[in-house]
Chain A
Amino acid sequence: MKNTLLNVDQLEVSYGPVKAVQNISFQVNEGELVTIIGANGAGKTSTLNAIMGLTDISAGKVEFNGNDLAKSSVEAKPKLGIVMSPEGRRVFADLTVKENLIAGGITLPKAKCDVRLDEMVKRFPILGERVNQEAGTLSGGEQQMLAIARALMIGPKFLILDEPSLGLAPKIVTQVFELISELHQEGVTILLVEQNVKKSLAVADRAYVMELGHIVREGRAADLSQDKKIHEAYLGAA
């Protein structure tokens, strides 16, 4: 019996008159990898920001482990085991790789942070070779790895990834998805937002399709990847 970790219920997000997210509901169970796919402007990032507490929730609720997330500040999210690797990577450009990782683990006690830092540097050799390099000078792929490694510092229960493959070369995209798969196998619960529909359906357990602020399809990722309409809308040209 799977325990529901994240429960989003009739969530609405609006920016002034613009309703970016309208009445959406979805769940992520413990240990699951769930993906939300959809075109530009569908409301994916707004949904994630609402979960993180970076955007106000206009209506509905977001629960994590049964607790109302609207009641906790952005800063409190890591303590709950929730962390997000944001859209566009957003590494701390003028901090070194090592300092980026330390910032990611800032809520850990110092000794624990050092241990995690060591583990990350070993897990990501491309970062290990560049610990003292300024993050802004890393390549896009390296920055993405750093953004994920930074999120992993706290050993999250729930990892949110916003378009981790955006703007990366095909070979790097493959590496990123391999990493996501590995993390999933290690038992991290993951909510993955992507526009690379094919690859995200291949790694995910379940998927939701968003269009213009609504969830228009949901189901097992394996089923959706066989679905004719999904093929036409998202996979046809690709």
Chain B
Amino acid sequence: MEQLIQFAISVLSLGGTYALLALGLATVFGLLGFLNFAHGDLMTVCGYGLFFMLAAGVPFPVAVLFAVALAGLAAVAMERIAFRPLRGRSPMSLLITSFAISLALHVSFQIFISPKSKPIPIPSYFSGYMTFGDVFISKAQVMSIIISFATLFGLNAFITKTRIGIALRAAASDFTVARSMGINANKMIMLAFGLSGVLAGVAAVMWIAQRGAVFPAMGLTPMVKALIAVIIGGLSNPKGALYGGFLLGLLEASFLYILPDQYVIYRDAAVLLTLIAFLMMRPNGIIATNAEPMR
């Protein structure tokens, strides 16, 4: 029973984080048809924002809000500076540009901040364990479940209940037609990047809460996970990203439980093997889409 509860918590907390990241990737992909490789670095930006604000004595919850907003702004800035001048180019050019941005950010963090890891003090309500009877539960995991689900519900409400959210989905569905209905392309692209940055920021907070540090390449691992999640889920469909994120969480948690201790280090390899097998059966992901990327 305890095992089951702990397992469920692992699945939901891992899956929730991956889902947020994958949704961020899918949001931008839906409009511009490319995977933004610098997405993970938005997490790092959020991490450093958090680090500097906490160092300056800003209370944790306030620092979190600002750091998440900073990631959103960084994403918008990234679009304005790097992607907008390339508007109309092939998605491949945008993809390669995003590699360059990611690299430039890594190097800048190394030079201007530090190549070493910076510790981030995590408050007690976000770290350590709590007990339910004889079940030990990590508070960071519980918090991450609460935060990721709240974010997912918030996002869902935004894109289904508000006019601007509906406009964003219309633009993702058919950008040309959406524009001819008066939906502004620049606004939608800015919104998509802003949202993806905020989602990366929220994911970063949960990621960091379980690790207590930020370093220049911090975004890389979660970025790779998010990529796997969108590939499992199918690109350009938010539902696919959501399912892909949780399925990846389920896979990782399962291997953590199934694999004998000495083989746990092969967990990622096992996950990737499963993924390959899965893609051989469903090359387009859980939800196959043939949405046309916009130019």
Contacts and interface: CB of A to CB of B under 8 A. Distances in A.
A binds B: yes
Interface string A69-81: 0000011111100
B182 A79 contact: yes
B170 interface: yes
A114 to B, nearest CB: 10
A74 B174 contact: no
A53 B250 CA distance: 48
Contacts of B173: 92-95
Interface string B150-172: 00000000001001001101100
A54 B180 contact: yes
A95 B170 contact: yes
B177 interface: yes
A106 B177 contact: no
Interface residues on A, range: 20 to 34
Contact of B237 (A94, A95, A110): A94
A92 B182 contact: no
Contacts of B178: 92, 103
A103 B184 CA distance: 12
A94 B237 CA distance: 9
B179 A103 contact: no
B176 interface: yes
Nearest to A151: B181
Contact of A99 (B169, B174, B180): B169
A107 interface: yes
B183 interface: yes
Interface residues of B, number: 19
A75 B237 contact: no
A80 to B, nearest CB: 10
Q: Output the residue of B170, B173, B177 with the most chain A CB within 10 A.
A: B177
Contacts of A141: none
Interface in A74-133: 74-79, 83-84, 86, 90, 92-95, 99-100, 102-104, 106-107, 110, 113
Contacts of A107: 181-182
Contacts, number: 68
A24 to B, nearest CB: 21
Given A90-B174, A92-B173, A94-B237, A52 B180 contact: yes
Given A92-B174, A94-B237, A110-B163, A104 B169 contact: no
Contacts of B176: 54, 74, 86
Given A78-B180, A107-B181, 4 more contacts: A74-B180, A83-B181, A99-B166, A103-B170
28 contacts: A54-B176, A74-B176, A74-B179, A75-B180, A75-B182, A75-B183, A77-B180, A77-B182, A78-B180, A78-B182, A83-B180, A92-B170, A92-B174, A92-B177, A92-B178, A93-B173, A94-B237, A95-B170, A95-B173, A99-B166, A99-B169, A99-B170, A103-B166, A106-B170, A106-B183, A107-B181, A113-B163, A150-B181
Nearest 8 CB-CB pairings of A with B: A107-B182, A103-B170, A78-B182, A92-B173, A74-B179, A92-B170, A90-B177, A99-B166
